[in-house]
Amino acid sequence: MTKKFLMLLALFLFASIVLCAQTQGTPGNPSMNGHWVPVSAAFAMAIGSSLCGLAQGKAIAAAVEGMARNPGAAKPIQLAMLIGLAFIESLALYVLLIIYTKVS
């Protein structure tokens, strides 16, 4: 990873503490920040889906390269790839489930 990426990641992590701080609600409006839930849910799904896509692409590329180098081991590599893809895809499904329970 590059130094710029790590610095940007650290900035986002430290800024999220301040940006996501909750305030005390008023008696008439107990949830002042309730309108940000759908926006944060959309960002969560976008980040989760994009990372799943990147991980699946990298896993498939590595599996295809392994099968090309050793065609005799194609079946075990394919099985391991499919199991790995199922675990990677579960990230997007869990994010979608959490969003559905929080927004509705």
Residue 49 lies in a domain: yes
Query: Contact at 8 Å (CB) between 25 and 31?
Result: yes
Q: Identity (one letter) of the amino acid at 75? A: K
73 DSSP assignment: G
Residue 8 lies in a domain: no
How high is the pLDDT of residue 45?
Answer: 87
Tokens representing 11 are 């900035």
Angle between helices 74-103 and 37-69 (to 10 degrees): 180
pTM of the model: 0.61
How high is the pLDDT of residue 25?
Answer: 56
Q: What's the total number of domains in the chain?
A: 1
How high is the pLDDT of residue 29?
Answer: 57
Q: Tell me: the pLDDT tens digits for 43-98?
A: 888 888 898 999 999 999 999 999 999 999 999 999 999 999 999 999 888 888 88
Backbone torsions φ then ψ of 61, nearest 5 degrees: -60, -40
Residue 7 lies in a domain: no
Q: What's the whole-number mean pLDDT along residues 23-39?
A: 63
Contacts of 20 (CB under 8 A, 6+ apart): none
Q: Which domain range does residue 69 map to?
A: 37-104
Residue 34 has pLDDT above 70, yes or no: no
Q: Which residue has the tokens 């503490």?
A: 17
Residue 84 lies in a domain: yes
How high is the pLDDT of residue 73?
Answer: 94
Residue 16 lies in a domain: no
Residue 14 lies in a domain: no
Residue 86 lies in a domain: yes
Give the CATH number, domain containing residue 76.
1.20.20.10
Residue 55 lies in a domain: yes
